[in-house]
Structure 1
Amino acid sequence: MKTDFFNDQLENNAILISPNQGERYEIGNNSFTFKLTSEHSNDQLGVYEIALAPMSIGAKLHYHRYMDETFIVKKGILTFETFENTLQAEAGSVAYAPRFSPHGFRNDTEEEVILLLIFNPSSKREGFFRGLHEILNDTPIDAEKYLKLYNKYDSYPVDCSDMIPTRE
């Protein structure tokens, strides 16, 4: 059998995710919705819509070894923290945290913040969010279990004594 090196083999794999489509989870007054999952993208890309309630924390300062994370602010003002700076990202802003770049994010306002969170590669990130839903809805929050979940899904807190996304 002769291999054809000159013509592309086309596939019918394009998809459309509608605004109200996707698996949704709630943690307190915050929510996340799976838009484009690891299953859709063969683990190459994950897109998740996050809604942060007023004065809530998405994640404290952490980094990833094997994936990049991009934040696209759709509504509100997101506080985006890096190793050395705290920045205010308004609607339309894009923040990018490549591998080994400490970052965190939160809502420091009295208005809801909506953002798209994109992981490349996605590395089955849905498992992380499902685990987060379970751990952060328990009282009290088990820090050891939280750290184990974080590390399993390529997330490493900069300060393990201050990693749980709650305000004191």
Structure 2
Amino acid sequence: MHNKASIILGTNKKSVKTKNSEYVFHISSSDTGGEISLYEAIFNKIGKNKNLHYHKVLTETFTVLEGEFYFNLDKEKLILKKNDSIVIPPLIIHGFRAKVPNSKLLIGFTDSPNRDDFFIGLSQIVNGELILNKAEINQFYNKYDQYQINE
């Protein structure tokens, strides 16, 4: 961790977009040496895929800022609403999708040194700018401590 405060002005924040979502980089993993990072995820449409996965190292936190989300947590199915939060430690299978249009999440990570590149790569895959076969997609996710569960 740095011994100096970091000020990140809104005008200097990076973001990436897909046709259905936008990710705003509030606190970059590079600003904290990977100790913590914070992203806002905005979903324009209702989600169809819950993207079940787990992490071996990082802890992931979610807070619903607007709208509602379906969350899968191991075998449990939840609906999280505005101001609800969830903390997911390593090795817990989870996934989520927007329940209503224009839903927003604040997503935090600990022990994740390069989450910015994950969201950049994810947007390139979703936008068709980066074409990967199934094995390459799994390698992409695994590189960022995200292990997909096939439904």
1:4-32 per-residue CA deviation (whole Å, 9 max, x = no partner) reads xxxxxxx4x22344456510111112110
Residue 66 of structure 1: how far off its partner (Å)? 0.6
| Partner of residue 64, structure 2 | 73
| Partner of residue 87, structure 2 | 96
Calculate percent identity across the aligned residue pairs. Answer: 27
Name structure 2 gaps, 5 residues minimum.
none
CA 1:120–1:59 in 2, change beyond 3 Å: closer, same or farther? farther
Rounded to whole Å, the distance in 1 between the matches of 2:58 and 2:27 is 16
For the pair shown, the structure with the greater C-alpha radius of gyration is 1
Q: 2:122 aligns with which of 113, 132, 152?
A: 132
Kindly indicate whether residue 7 of structure 2 is the aligned counterpart of residue 24 of structure 1: no
Rounded to whole Å, the distance in 2 between the matches of 1:21 and 1:75 is 23
CA 1:93–1:157 in 2, change beyond 3 Å: closer, same or farther? same
Rounded to whole Å, the distance in 1 between the matches of 2:26 and 2:61 is 14
Rounded to whole Å, the distance in 1 between the matches of 2:49 and 2:23 is 10
Q: Structure 2 counterpart of 1:120, which letter? A: T
Name structure 1 gaps, 5 residues minimum.
1-10, 163-168
Counterparts of residues 5-84 of structure 1 (less than 5 Å): 11=3, 13-18=4-9, 21-56=12-47, 60-84=51-75
Kindly indicate whether residue 105 of structure 2 is the aligned counterpart of residue 119 of structure 1: no
CA 1:18–1:58 in 2, change beyond 3 Å: closer, same or farther? farther
CA 1:100–1:81 in 2, change beyond 3 Å: closer, same or farther? same
Rounded to whole Å, the distance in 2 between the matches of 1:31 and 1:60 is 17
Contact residue 57 and residue 105 of structure 1 kept, 8 A = no
**C-alpha RMSD of matched pairs (Å):** 2.2
